[in-house]
């Protein structure tokens, strides 16, 4: 029987990787449909918001990477046990998104002076504020970001940060509890197996 | 008995207003704790991520505006009936966030040339793409953004857009289905009553 789930994303980690991590964590078969940069312009025009990832489930097409990660996170048992727990996980993920937006702004700035200013802001302001807080969360939650146990927020963060660390290997240098959390996730056997066999990513 | 919920936010609409709308929609009493700009610097240092809104529930402090809106949306019966429905709502809200970030970037740009370039991008690219798609969703969903019925995504959008329209009254001009959706939400009796009695907002 064909898998019930079909993920469509670029042939790289980025915003699709957390979804792949979550499916592998849950041992759930899915079609990992990777779109080449050559094929993307033609496909793009057929996608309403011109964005991937997309996840097809029984003919229904889901979109937005965080919304899909939340859906698959629940599917594989990594959501909260009640609404308050879900809100705690969601707030962690929204905080990760805040960091991601600052990080990407720096990454894609083409003006060298502006890029340097964004780099300084990232190092002196954003990382101490956001990673500093997340490091405390990881310390208080047994090496996870929320609820004292593994949730989809951890998997979401690690899948993303592994992509970011291709260009910035020292990203978590000053945050020992985040590094420990990353190791907790990467040592889960099914995730470890996926990271070992997945297509080698390039710096994005 | 004191209300179980205490919302802390600036004395304006912004990212706190969707939470106020949702509580009023559900007829749920809450403390609407409004922080003046004079009091904010001192309070700011006591808040881990230096951000509001915050929602206190039974002594637990929730953060991140979208996560809190999802929590209160579920509380007042405006969430999905299953995980696929929730994912559809979440994707709409993440799309609204995409628009919000573009809008705020333009709003807070201080360089006049850069601001003009962002304005053009907003008008010629972002609005046609995002509002164009959202207008189609509203058309297909009986005047709502998802699931053919009122969800917290509609309330979230309208509460936010009403703030934006203080400075840009024509924001939804070319999107008749979004205007109809906005009227659907603003004509709900409890929301109408709140909008009539709430503190008058100023352009932010």
- Optimal mutation site among B59, B72, B94, interface A, most CBs of chain A within 10 A: B94
Peptide bond into B53 cis (omega under 30): yes
pLDDT at B151 over 90: yes
**A182 Cβ contact partners less than 8 Å away, ≥ 6 residues apart:** A157, A158, A161, A162, A172
What is the rounded distance in angstroms from the CA atom of residue B103 to the CA atom of residue B117? 12
Q: Which of B49, B71, B88 sits opposite A95 (nearest CB)?
A: B49
pLDDT band of residue B202 (cuts 50, 70, 90) is low
Cα A86 to the center of its chain, rounded Å: 17
Residues of A in contact with B90 (CB under 8 A): 64, 66-67, 70-71
| Closest CA in chain B for residue A131 | B49
Beta strands in chain A (DSSP E): 5-10, 30-35, 54-57, 60-63
Question: A-B interface: how many C-beta pairs under 8 angstroms?
Answer: 75
pLDDT digits (tens, 9 = 90+) for A28-40: 999 999 999 999 9
- DSSP class of residue A31? E
Dihedral sign computed on CA atoms, order B164, B169, B174, B175: positive
Paired strand residues for A7: A32, A55
- Considering only CB atoms, which chain B residues are within 8 Å of A80? none
Choosing among A54, A73, A94, A127, which should be mutated to test the B contact, i.e. which has the most B CBs within 10 A? A94
Residue with tokens 């009254």: B169
pLDDT at A204: 46
Q: What is the pLDDT of residue A20?
A: 98
Report the alpha-carbon distance of residue A135 to residue A101 in Å, rounded.
Answer: 19
Q: Cα separation of A138 and A132, whole Å?
A: 10
Q: How confident is the model over B48-101, as pLDDT tens digits?
A: 899 999 999 988 999 999 999 999 999 999 999 999 999 999 999 999 999 999
Phi-psi region of B102 (alpha: psi -120 to 50; beta: other; left: phi over 0): alpha
Peptide bond into A53 cis (omega under 30): yes
Residue A57, strand partner residues: A5, A60
Name every chain B residue with its beta carbon within 8 A of the beta carbon of A52.
Answer: none
Kindly list the structural domains of chain A, giving each domain's residue range(s) and its CATH number in brackets, ordered by start. 5-77+191-197 (3.40.30.10), 83-187 (1.20.1050.10)
Sheet harboring B60-63: ordered strands across? Answer: B30-35, B5-10, B54-57, B60-63
Looking at every residue in chain A, the average pLDDT score rounds to 95
- Interval B10-15 mean pLDDT: 94
Please, which pLDDT band fits residue A3 given cuts at 50, 70 and 90?
confident
Predicted pLDDT of residue B204:
46
SS3 B35: strand
Dist. CA A160–CA B4, nearest whole Å: 37
Q: Which helix (H) or strand (E) holds A85?
A: helix A83-108
End-to-end CA distance of chain B: 35
Which residues in B lie closer than 8 A to residue A68 (C-beta atoms)? 87, 91
- Averaged pLDDT for residues A162-182: 95
Closest CA to B119 of B96, B103, B97, B98: B103
pLDDT at res. B59: 87
Where residue B200 falls among pLDDT bands split at 50, 70, 90? confident
Q: Do A66 and B95 touch (CB under 8 A)?
A: no
- Tell me which residue in A50, A66, A95 faces B94 most closely, judged by beta carbons: A66
Contacts of A60 in chain B (CB under 8 A): 84
Bridge partner list, A32:
A7
- Chain B nearest-CA residue for A94: B64
Determine, for residues B75 and A62 on separate chains, whether the beta-carbon distance falls below 8 Å.
Answer: no
What backbone torsions phi and psi does residue A199 show, to the nearest 5 degrees?
Answer: -55, 140
Q: Cβ separation of B95 and A70 shorter than 8 Å?
A: no
Residue pointed to by tokens 């949306």: B73
Our CA dihedral for A141, A147, A153, A158, rounded to 10 degrees, sits at: 20
Nearest to A71 among B74, B83, B133 (CB): B83
Q: Test A90 with B83 for CB contact under 8 angstroms.
A: no
pLDDT value of position B3: 73
Q: A203 falls in which pLDDT band (50, 70, 90)?
A: low
Query: For A164-171, what is the mean pLDDT?
Result: 93
Distance, in Å, from the CA atom of B185 to the CA atom of B139, rounded to the nearest integer, reads 15
Q: Give residue-wise pLDDT tens across range B107-138.
A: 999 999 999 999 999 999 999 999 999 999 99
Report the share of chain A in percent with pLDDT over 70: 98
Q: Is the pLDDT of residue A24 over 50?
A: yes
CA distances from B83 to A70, A155, A170, B157, B192 (A): 9, 19, 37, 21, 30
Per the CB < 8 Å rule, is A94 touching B67? yes
Question: Which pair of tokens denotes residue B50?
Answer: 């230096």
Supply the pLDDT for residue B201.
Answer: 72
Report pLDDT for A172: 97
Which positions in chain B have a beta carbon within 8 angstroms of at least one beta carbon in chain A?
48-50, 57, 60, 62-64, 66-68, 70-71, 74-75, 83-84, 86-88, 90-91, 93-95, 101, 129-130, 133, 136
Helix, strand and coil in chain B, % to nearest 5:
55, 10, 35
Give A87-112 pLDDT, tens digit per residue: 999 999 999 999 999 999 999 999 99
Q: Is the pLDDT of residue B177 over 70?
A: yes
Residue B57: closest C-alpha in chain A: A84
| Residues of chain A contacting residue B86, judged by C-beta atoms under 8 Å apart | 70-71
* Mean per-residue pLDDT, B139-164: 97
Note whether A83 contacts B64, CB cutoff 8 Å.
Answer: no
DSSP structure string for B64-80: -HHHHHHHHHHHTT-S-
């Amino acid at each position: 029987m064909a898998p019930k789930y079909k993920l469509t994303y670029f042939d790289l980690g980025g915003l699709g990787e957390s979804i792949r991590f979550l499916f592998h964590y849950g041992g759930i078969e899915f079609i990992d449909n990777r779109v080449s940069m050559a094929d993307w312009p033609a496909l793009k025009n057929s996608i309403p918001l011109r964005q991937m990832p997309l996840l097809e489930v029984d003919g229904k097409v889901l979109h937005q990477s965080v919304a899909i990660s939340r859906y698959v996170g629940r599917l594989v048992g990594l959501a909260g046990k009640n609404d308050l727990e879900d809100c705690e996980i969601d707030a962690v993920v929204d905080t990760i998104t805040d960091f991601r937006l600052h990080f990407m702004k720096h990454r894609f700035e083409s003006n060298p002076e502006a890029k340097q200013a964004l780099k300084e802001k990232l190092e002196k302001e954003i990382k101490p504020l956001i990673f500093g807080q997340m490091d405390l969360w990881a310390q208080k939650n047994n090496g996870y970001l929320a609820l004292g146990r593994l949730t989809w927020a951890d998997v979401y963060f690690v899948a993303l940060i592994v992509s970011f660390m291709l260009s910035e290997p020292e990203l978590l240098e000053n945050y020992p509890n985040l590094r420990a959390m990353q190791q907790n996730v990467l040592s889960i056997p099914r995730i470890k197996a996926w990271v070992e066999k997945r297509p080698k990513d390039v710096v994005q």
